[in-house]
Structure 1
């Protein structure tokens, strides 16, 4: 196991001083998990995990102390990788871009510190299957967390932002997460393209907080016409608008978007005042969204359960 642990510290006391250097030494096409232990510090550098490097774990001591931070925006990208590799615009501006499958992050903050009004400024883009995030923070304003493709599990995480700050077309389950709405906007912009796709976001037993204002935030709007989002057993404070959802100024989206709530509570939970084209699920309808099977559907080939069972402490030797 020791040979599969790489250490990072800015003061030169570890194997490498940057996270990117540690990722770069992971063998191409690696078949076993590599744990990168990141010492406390604010690492100001964009990070790229290529699709040729799977099974990487980034482990910090605490998300408050271990921060990966950069300030790219869709209009201004400075990166050690070319646009041909990472893409352009919103797609290429993530502080951290993960394209390697079976990625895990624990106790890490992903931050885009571009100021409010900078437009799209992604903290993390995930274009990879079977990724899990435990006790992580995602900090930014617009387009903070880009769950673009694949299946992702987030537990005990904190996500903040304003406009469309959890968005993309992955299949994601956010469990026991804290969603913080910093200013006027939309929590989600899920982009499912057709009713045949199994993608969507489920927020299970989460908490939504605001900045002290009332009725300034929508739960979501459909970036794709069949956008699918479920909030279940979630506390919503008064920042959530009573109508709940937005059609992105396209009435035709109201026929196809799948925006659901189930057993939510708090001053922002107002089933009787929601838009007529969003739904409160009944028990039988909600069942498919209330467990890990939403993102880990094949009991013969589970991916999430092994990730949750094998926890590698920061001090592992």
Structure 2
């Protein structure tokens, strides 16, 4: 990798660019070196698109509370500077931020969809890209907040809030030390693995799930795809999580194929004895594959997290 490039964005005109999209547009097509876009504090009200032709982009703020990328699109009403032929339509095309360039990193940034409760599907960010990482970011919305659609993603020390299916898609994702907040009745995850041969799935490792004070109003997940795979390990669950834990999306046949697992979780919402019979607690040997970074970084000869994301040596739980 060549030396990285640093460019700045500031709404007051003191940076290289005034908007985040202008900075992304300035990245060369076929970019092959890390380009760090330092975003000054501010609320940036504009949809953002990172195309497939622009890899190795980092968005970096100082504090996620101070640097907010926000827009208000919904699945039924999309206002975007790119056409539907490029970004898609419906839920797929409504993300406030859409990332299709690989090796994307964000740190200390808030991604928000500001559409109000009851607006239906309203994505804060869609990630359709391999080898992406998010550090100390916030993802704000209601329904379908975080669309981890495709590829491998790592999220650490992030905050994710929503109501219905607010972490969803068919990527392979590890969420470590993250705070998951259930704002109203609904489902934390809707993972859409379509066959037992796919290696996709979501792992929540040492996370915290909180609610708004009510009890037993949120499910841990439901299978958007029949083989949906979600694992919660060493995770605290407060009383907002229903004792049954999981929902079959109205299809009893999903109970035979969905892979919904828990491992050494705790808190008032962790009730192994009351969970649905078709979800289960993993034993130590089964859990091991989900407790290490190799779940999303399996090639020890060509690791992407340790080398390119500047992490320390991965460690197991």
The two structures have a TM-score, normalised by structure 1, of 0.97
Determine the C-alpha separation between the residues in 1 that align with 2:109 and 2:33: 22
Please, which runs of 5 or more residues in structure 2 have no aligned partner? 313-317
Cα distance per residue 1:115-160 (max 9 Å; x no partner): 0000000000000000000000000000000000000000000000
The correspondence of residues 9-20 of structure 1 with structure 2, limited to 5 A, is 9-20=10-21
Deviations 1:278-307 (A, max 9, x none): 010000000000010000001001011123
1:27-176 correspondence runs (5 A): 27-176=28-177
1:26 maps to 27
Q: Distance in 2 between matches of 1:193 and 1:304?
A: 26
Unaligned runs of 5+ in 1: 312-317
Tell me, in whole angstroms, the C-alpha distance in 1 between the residues paired with 2:206 and 2:307: 22
**Distance in 2, Cα, partners of 1:194 & 1:88:** 25
User: Residues 5 and 276 (structure 1 numbering): CA distance in 2 closer, same or farther, change over 3 Å?
Assistant: same
CA distance in 2, matches of 1:307, 1:111: 26
Q: 1:192: which partner in 2?
A: 193
Equivalent in the alignment of 1:213: 214
The separation in 2 between residues aligned to 1:101 and 1:114, in whole angstroms, is 28
CA drift at 1:3: 7.2
* Partner of residue 314, structure 1: none
CA distance in 1, matches of 2:40, 2:311: 21
> Counterpart of 2:315?
none
Rounded to whole Å, the distance in 2 between the matches of 1:151 and 1:66 is 25
1 CA distance for matches of 2:203 and 2:22? Answer: 34
CA distance in 1, matches of 2:59, 2:120: 28
The separation in 1 between residues aligned to 2:250 and 2:4, in whole angstroms, is 54
Structure 1 stretches of at least 4 aligned residues deviating more than 6 Å after TM superposition: none
Query: Which residue of the partner structure matches residue 181 of structure 1?
Result: 182
Structure 1 CA distance, aligned partners of 2:311 and 2:261?
Answer: 33
- Shift in CA distance, 2/260, structure 1 to aligned 2, threshold 3 Å: closer
Note if contact 2:173-2:296 (Cα within 8 Å) is conserved in structure 1.
Answer: yes
Secondary structure in structure 2 of the residue aligned to 1:184: strand
Provide the C-alpha distance between the structure 1 equivalents of 2:290 and 2:306, rounded to a whole number of angstroms: 17
**Cross-structure match for 1:270:** 271
Q: Report the CA distance shift for 1:243/1:43 in structure 2 as closer, same or farther (over 3 A).
A: same
3-state DSSP class of the match of 2:165?
Answer: coil
Matched, 1:245 2:243: no
Distance 1:58 1:263 in 2: 35
Does the CA contact (< 8 Å) of 2:4 and 2:33 recur in 1? no
Q: Which residue of 2 aligns with 1:204?
A: 205
- The answer to whether the 8 Å contact 2:3/2:34 transfers is no
Aligned length: 311
Q: Does the 8 Å CA contact 2:52/2:102 hold for their aligned counterparts?
A: yes
Q: Per-residue deviation at 1:24?
A: 0.1
Alpha-carbon distance in structure 1 between the residues aligned to 2:311 and 2:217: 41
Are the counterparts in 1 of residues 4 and 34 from structure 2 also a CA contact under 8 Å?
no
CA gap 1:2/1:306 in 2 versus in 1, 3 angstroms = closer
Find the counterpart in structure 1 of residue 302 from structure 2: 301
Distance in 1 between the 2:142 and 2:55 partners? Answer: 29
2:3 touches 2:33 (CA, 8 Å); kept in 1?
A: no
